[in-house]
Amino acid sequence: MGITQVHVRILVLGLTALVGAVGGLVLLQSRPDTVVSAATVARPEGLVAPDVVVSKVRGMTAIAQRIDRLEVKLSTFGAVMAVAAPGGWVQEPSPETLVWVVATNGLVEPSAARGAKYPWGVFVYNAATGQIAAEFANDKTNWPPFFDALADLSKQ
């Protein structure tokens, strides 16, 4: 992946040194495993369908090794970064860019994690192009603590 590409992969590891950088993650209780169908999420005109990015996540079997629960929301890249990696900096995409945010619970081994496995992963895709914009994974909770609070623009 070159510097000139329009997307940047971000991996927030569950390492002590990085926990402070992501703004004190709040522990949540474990929930029953459920799957939310991407077909139930509305799609504004001109955007990639949510089932396309869900298929991409399900197809990354070396990374998303087991998926017990999966949910998808439409948001802006700025809103995701504000709750997932406060203070984080990336050049692209812009904060106003619409993105599909796919949260998973199960067994996730991000490509940059050097073999570390995590109970959840979040995969952020540019909603106009379907290209990956960011990845997050952590082992402090069983579900991404920021995902439930993230507004779903497809339901507004």
Summarised one tens digit per residue, pLDDT across range 92-145 is 789 999 999 999 999 999 888 889 999 999 999 999 999 999 998 999 999 999
Mean confidence (pLDDT) of the chain: 75
pLDDT at 147: 96
Give 66 or 45, the one with higher predicted confidence. Answer: 66
The confidence score (pLDDT) of residue 76 equals 95
What are the structure tokens assigned to 38, written together? 């991407």
SS3 (DSSP) at 138: strand
Q: Can you list the domains of the chain with their CATH numbers?
A: 43-155 (3.10.450.40)
State whether residue 154 is helix, strand or coil: helix
Confidence of residue 57 (pLDDT cuts 50, 70, 90): very high
The pLDDT of residue 142 is 95
pLDDT value at residue 43 = 53
pLDDT score for 112: 81
Average pLDDT over residues 72-79: 95
> What is the token pair recorded at 97?
């860019």
Cα–Cα distances in Å, from 48 out to 96, 125, 154? 16, 9, 12
Mean pLDDT of 21-30: 26
Q: Are 100 and 127 in contact (CB under 8 A)?
A: yes
For the chain, what is the largest distance between any 2 Cα atoms, rounded to a whole number of angstroms? Answer: 42
Residue 137 parent element (H or E) = strand 132-138
Q: At which residue do the structure tokens 């082992």 appear?
A: 139
153: helix, strand or coil? helix
Query: Residues 79-95: pLDDT tens digits?
Result: 999 998 766 666 678 99
pLDDT computed for residue 36 by the predictor: 40
